[in-house]
Structure 1
């Protein structure tokens, strides 16, 4: 088999392998590296692959999962601020997280176009809140829960992928479920409107933001809305707190903003650009929203050069 033939066989699995490695690591860059590592390991081991024993997909997941477990031996978990510290007062000064390695958002563009007839990636399991909850699990518990409840492998298949016993898989799954219950996050928990309706909510938010209309922003939020802003550890909940913070944003940064819509973690979002002292619009933040049938329930705001780079965002916008 030539390299070209081999790549043609495994290319259809790349998007779901990327999603899998991202769920495990919480890092876009690490996930891309591990997909490349998976493909390299698969090429080197191609002569050992036995189609009569497992499908190509299962074999690739075995390689990818074990590559992720090896990588996690030398990496710390990637939380969001709400998984690290207590809630903040929006009036308090920002506190930087220092050396914390934060969860990164995943650009939807990396998963390719969505075809309902051939979709292989469970996009609900890519929500930021769910991937953040996975960070509370041990590496093996994370792998078991993803293999069993996201990818729908049987206990026996998961045991084969992890080179362990079915009893061990079932035990790890029970512990993982118990830990996730403490975080109160499940992949199917959010009552989401359609993709178009979610985008419409965020478009209304952008218009209110552009007009510095804090009351208009608040009307788009749920009562228990949550905002967090890595690399700052500050986070808070509630519509009124949100309004207090946005009053501060406009007082500090002015009212002149531009936006670039984007998608991340199968959720709507945008990049916000603020007019700088030289008159140019400078990249300020990337914001990812959870939208429910009752409104926007979460806004995760990123201000990180690596995150901006993964979305290929320009540093400035022309008028």
Structure 2
């Protein structure tokens, strides 16, 4: 009987110990979650940028060419940059980056056949009618949101957030030539779609006034 009591007492103490330990771990994780601060650009350059070569190697295997691999890596780096406020919650940031790259590639592969200028233009037109763009600035904003992801992010960093070229290249890891090409494509796309949609608006207004 004494052995049973001792065994029960030992089990009770053991359970209390685990409950206390579990509570301590849970509380510590909660505090860590709540106290996360945004990763500084210096920490980003120290922790994230060195992963770029491994990401580029994986991207090259997936895409089969350097240019597509470079674009894929730049998109992942930009996504990681936008996640600076939560990156400290991930213990294995390299695994996170690799997973993001694979997911991004899979998404692009699934939608590649659907991504053509006609469908994109129709999508912009639908958004424009739905939101009733009031002026040219609204129209440009809608067009920018429909740019390819890499062009959109680089354009926003340059023209809206005010980053200079060297800062964008450091954050994304892209070359000066790649940055120039993406900005040029974004600006050309915005100009072309703006002209097309302005023509659509003019035609629509003419019909409404008949």
TM exceeding 0.5: no
Q: What range is the shorter-chain TM-score in?
A: 0.3 to 0.5
| Normalised TM-score (structure 1) | 0.22
Larger fraction in helix: 2
Q: Which has the larger radius of gyration?
A: 2
| Normalised TM-score (structure 2) | 0.32
